[in-house]
Structures are given as structure tokens and as C-alpha cells.
Chains A and B, each alone.
Chain A
Amino acid sequence: LTAIVISFGVTAFALVLLHRVYQTVETDDLDKMKATDT
């Protein structure tokens, strides 16, 4: 049961993060997210 709750919470966070990333970076293609690489 604990695992279900934890997974739910973490998934909710991940979804929000994905949405925010899409807003900021304007792409969902991981290959284009290279701002942190040198």
C-alpha cells in the first residue's frame, strides 16, 4: 500500500515536471535538450 502511495506521488510530480519542462524548453525531444552538455 505504501508503495502505491509513493508511486502515485512520484508519478504526479514527474507529470508536473514534464509539463513545466515542455513550457520552458518548448520541445519534448530529449535529444534537443543539450543546454547542460559541453
Chain B
Amino acid sequence: MKLLLVLPILIPLITAALALLAWRRRRVQRSLALMGASALLIASVWLLASVWGKGIQATQIGGWPAPFGITIVADLLSAIMVALTGLMGFAVVIYSLASIDRERESFGYYPLLCILLMGVCGAFLTGDLFNLYVWFEVMLISSFVLLALGGERAQLEGAIKYVTLNLLSSAIFLAAIGILYGIAGTLNMADLSRKLGDVSSPGLVTTVAMMFLVTFGVKAAVFPLFFWLPASYHTPPVAVSAIFAGLLTKVGVYALIRVFTLLFVQDVSYTHGLILVIAGLTMVTGVLGAVAQNEFRRILSFHIVSQIGYMIMGLGLFTRLALAGSVFYIIHHIVVKTNLFLVSGVAHNLRGTFELKRLGGLYAATPHVALLFLIPALSLAGIPPLSGFFAKLALVQAGFAVEQYAIVAVSLVVSLFTLLSMTKIWNEAFWKPGPEPASADRSPEKIGGRERVLLIPIAMLALITVAIGFAAGPIFELATQAADQLLNRDEYIQTVLGGSR
């Protein structure tokens, strides 16, 4: 068994176990979390380098040969996602060290975070559909608890909506897996990829594809299944919001891409056409929702929905350039979104509120924080030379190449509205003069020592956003190669079934 492939799952698992053993000792948990996150980051980058150099890697759990055993397989898309998980985990752990309150820490915050990271990495690396379900559940359960940890009223209300919709999607997932097993006799993704073309009832295959679209759509927050997201993402502590925003929906997007490039490519005009329509609707509803909000994190939550629409757009267009654009967009968005949520946390620390009406004057008080907000915000809106511009450019070019002008027009208009809502946050929170000290919830303070630590991950992620923008060429090359691997399924199938041990 190749160890490197399993490391991204093993490392957070061991970290979580050790952190649980140190239940009473918060200091030990904190250092464990930091070490574990660093180890995960290193392992994931190493994995990415390995896949980039040597092609798709696969290994079988327990030595059981495919297609009977569970395959762990890393193609470029998986490796990129795992590397991003490592990076976000690292950033959020640093932020958590300085921000999570004592009570949550004593109730297992760090083990939960590690298990969440483990579930996410497992979902990215598995080559078996049922194993995907298992990792989804691991990720979901730890997210349920993280969301509700602390027991504030808003959290519990958000948790109810989040839990219910996600449980529903898990039930549909199971049903779809059952039907697929009945049709094809296997759940190994590479094997399914070979067999689904020859099935006697192609209509049934498309039906199952739609079921998967619904279940992963709930997870990825597409229209019309995204309503749990703005109801819940702004309720937990900022570090939790940030990791959710950066990773969880992207696991849904990853699953959609994997399933609709590897498995369900029999009826592309229907399935991917539908995906394109959904993408457009998602973009529009997301940004319209964002423009109407007045609370920092709720605006960001609606933006997540809107940006997911862009990623799905690439999938719907289903060409090499489009998929490369999607991958690039995912890379850009994970970094930017996590960063924005972390910035909102700093704004909260300075002013004691997330409500835009009561924020203000942060540019005058702390211009460096304003800059750190501006970089990811402009990147999200797609201003060159930041990363968002290249991602949107790729998708627009891909749309023009297949003459899907409607979706291109929609995506450009949505971009404008995104810029509008980002400007709103900028005006309200940073530019306008702050509330009078007497009426402010908290007077403008300089950032204290502990809170300086909060700025480290934000600055790091902002630098990465700028770097992605300036190094767009090589990263786009990476994304294009990932798209190639997605479109040419043979390499994947060959690696998993042909010669892995």
C-alpha cells in the first residue's frame, strides 16, 4: 500500500485521536492541532508533487484487488483539492488558536476540526462510491457538531436547517447508490465508468444521475437546494464559518465533477445541459441574495452560492477549457472565501458586531486590515491581475468557444453584481466614518497582541491570492492537465484496474 496516498487521511486521524486523549489539557490539544495541520499541509503538497510528476496514483486498501476492494486514487483534481484542504486547515487552525473561546476548546473543538479535515481528504481521495458516502458522513457529522458547539440560539437554529437538509441528501445518496449497484453490480468508480455504457436501460442510468445531481447539489449549494447555507453559515464562530465556507461546499462540487465526468457521460446533452441551466440560476439567485443582505457574513454566504454557480458552469460546458476554468476557479475561490470569512472575524473583533450598519471606519483605524480585505474582495469580483479575473476569463472564453452566449452574459452580469456587493461591504465597514465612541459596541482599538496572530493566516492567504494571480500561467497549466485527466477517463481506469496493488 502506498503510504503517501493514505497520509492525508491518516494524519488528521492520528491528530484527532491524540487530541482526544488529551481531553483535559487544552494546551496540548492546541499544539497537537498545529502540528497535525502542518503535517497535513506538507503531506498534501508532497502528494500533489508526486501526482504532477508521475501521473495518477492508486492503491488498494488492505490489498484487496479492484474492483472488489476500496481504491484510494489521486488524480490531479484530487491532489489539488487535498493540497488546498491542507492549506486551509493550516490557516484556520492558526486562526482558531487565537480566537476560539475556552469553553469550545474544552468540548473537543480541535479533535472535531481534525476529523472534519480527515473526512474531506477521504472524500477527495476515494475511488469507491460507497466509501465516498462514508467520508461524506464523517465530514457531515463533524460539521454538525462544530456548527452546534457552543449552543447559542442562532447556532442551534442554523444547525436544525443545516442538519435536516443534509440528512435528506444523505438518504437520497444511499438510495442512488443502491439503485446503481443494482444496475451495474459494482460501486468502484473506475469499474462503473466502464460498465455504465453497456447497461440495458440507459434511462435508468440518467435517472440515477439526476439523483446524484440532487444529493451532491444539496451539498454543493446549487439552486434550488442551497437555502440551508445562508441560514446557517453565519452562526458559528468565525474559524468554523471559514473552514465550512472554504471546504464543505467544494466537496460537493468535487463530487459533482467526479461523477459527471467519470460516470455519467452517456447522455451529455441532457445531463450537462441541465447542469448549465442550474449553474446560471445559481449564480443569479446567489448574487441577488447577497446584494440584499446587511450582515457581513450573510453577504459572504450568499456569495458562496453564486460562485458555486461559476464552478458548475465549467462542468456544464464540458470542454477542456471549461473544466480547466472550473478547476482554476475552485483553487481561487477556496483561498479567497476562507480569507474573507477570517477578515470578517477581525472586523467583528474590532467593532463587536457583524451588522454593516454598525460597522464603520475600519479603514481609518486599521488600514492594513482594510488592505487585507480588499485583496480577496477584488479577486472575488474578478479584477485583474488577481486570481478571480483569470478564472472568470477562462470560463467566459470556454463559453464563447461552444457558443453558449446566454450563460456567458449571465456570468458577466453576476460579476458586476458581485463587485457591487463587495463595494457595499467596503463602504459600510471600512470606508464610512465609524460610529461615535459613545454608541459603538466597542471603541476602535488597536489590534492587541493575541489578535495580531489572527492577521497571520489572513495575510498568508492574501499573499497566495496575489501569487495565484501573478503565476496564473503555471497554475492554469496545472488546471488544464487536471481537466485532461478528467476528460480522458482511460488513464484513471487503467491505473485503478490495470496494475495497482
Contact = CB atoms under 8 A, between A and B. Distances in A.
B293 interface: yes
Interface string A1-38: 01100110110011001101100110000100101111
A35 B154 contact: yes
Chain A: interface secondary structure? helix
A35 B154 CA distance: 6
A38 B294 contact: yes
A26 to B, nearest CB: 10
Interface string B148-186: 100101101111110110010010001000000000000
Contacts of A17: 144, 148, 156, 159-160, 163
A10 B170 contact: yes
Contacts of A10: 137, 140-141, 167, 170
B232 interface: yes
Given A17-B148, A17-B159, A18-B160, A3 B133 contact: yes
Contacts of A3: 130, 133, 174
Nearest to B295: A38
A38 to B, nearest CB: 6
Contacts of B160: 17-18, 21, 30, 33
Contacts of A30: 160-161
A14 B231 contact: no
Contacts of B140: 10
B130 A37 contact: no
A23 to B, nearest CB: 9
Nearest to B164: A14
Nearest to B293: A38
Contacts of A37: 231
B234 interface: yes
B134 interface: yes
Contacts of A18: 160
Interface of B: 130, 133-134, 137, 140-141, 144-145, 148, 151, 153-154, 156-161, 163-164, 167, 170, 174, 231-232, 234-235, 293-295, 298
